[in-house]
Structure 1
Amino acid sequence: MTWVLVAVGGAMGSAVGALLMRRPTGTRLLLATAAMCGLMGLLSAQLLSPKVTAVLGYGVLGSAASMVTMAVASPMWVGGDAPVHSTVSVTKRLAVYCVVGVTFALLGYLAVRGGETLFKKLT
């Protein structure tokens, strides 16, 4: 049953990813990465049922994130130094997207944990 839920979530995530990738600009890709990683941080901090986690976490966010990752691929250059240019370009982009992803995943996680702690202290 879990695999069916992941497949349904994957179909929904593919639709979301396709909408995000209609006109992939650098800003749109960074915002999509930030949103997906923030939501993954939120989901990892919450204790949800395994069914909800399968649909939202693994299905929707997993497939939408993979579509954004495919759009991040940079164009290849033609020439003798093409491998060097391509490697440097991919490394720079990967570093930026990793920093954005980790930052927003941490912010999502801390938002839930901090809100939970504040709620417990105030009540």
Structure 2
Amino acid sequence: MTWLLVALGGAAGSAIGALLMRRPTGTRLLLATASVCGLMGMLSAQLVSPKVTAVLGYGVLGSATSMVAFALASPAWVGGDAPVRSTAGITKRLAVYCVVGVTFALLGYLAVRGGATLYKKLS
């Protein structure tokens, strides 16, 4: 049953990712990466049922992340020094996306955990 929920969430996440990535620009890709990773961080801090985690975490957010990674694909190589330039460009771009992803996943996690701690302290 869990695999079916992951598959349904994956189909929904692929549709969402395809809609977001219709015309991929650098800004749109960074915003999509930040929002998906932030939601993943928020979901990891919550104690929700395994069925909800299967649909949202592994299904929707997992496939939306793969759509963003697919949009990062570089154009074909042309020329003799193009592999070196492409490799350097992809490495820089991947480093930026990793930093953005980790930062927003941490911010999402801390937002939920900090809010829960503040709620417990105030009540």
Superposed pair shares fold, TM > 0.5? yes
**What is the match of residue 78 of structure 1?**
78
Within 1, Cα distance between the matches of 2:95 and 2:74?
13
Deviates more, 1:78-87 or 1:27-36: 78-87
**What is the match of residue 92 of structure 2?**
92
Residue by residue over 1:75-116, the C-alpha shift from the partner in whole angstroms, topping out at 9 and shown as x without a partner, is 233111122111101001000000000000000000000001
TM normalised by structure 2 equals 0.97
1:4 aligns with 2:19: no
- The residue type equivalent to 1:107 in the other structure is L
Task: Spell out structure 1 runs of 4+ moving beyond 2 A.
Answer: none
Q: C-alpha displacement at 1:74, in angstroms?
A: 1.8
Residue by residue over 1:34-58, the C-alpha shift from the partner in whole angstroms, topping out at 9 and shown as x without a partner, is 0000000000000110000000000
Percent identical: 84
**What is the match of residue 45 of structure 1?**
45
1:117 aligns with 2:120: no
Native 8 Å contact 1:9 1:58 kept in 2: yes
- The residue type equivalent to 1:16 in the other structure is I
Within 1, Cα distance between the matches of 2:24 and 2:78?
23
**What is the match of residue 29 of structure 1?**
29
TM normalised by structure 1 equals 0.97
**What is the match of residue 102 of structure 1?**
102
Within 2, Cα distance between the matches of 1:76 and 1:113?
44
Q: Secondary structure at the match of 1:87?
A: helix
RMSD: 0.7
Aligned residues: 123
Residue segments in structure 1 that go unaligned for 5+ positions in a row: none
Residue segments in structure 2 that go unaligned for 5+ positions in a row: none
Within 2, Cα distance between the matches of 1:14 and 1:24?
15
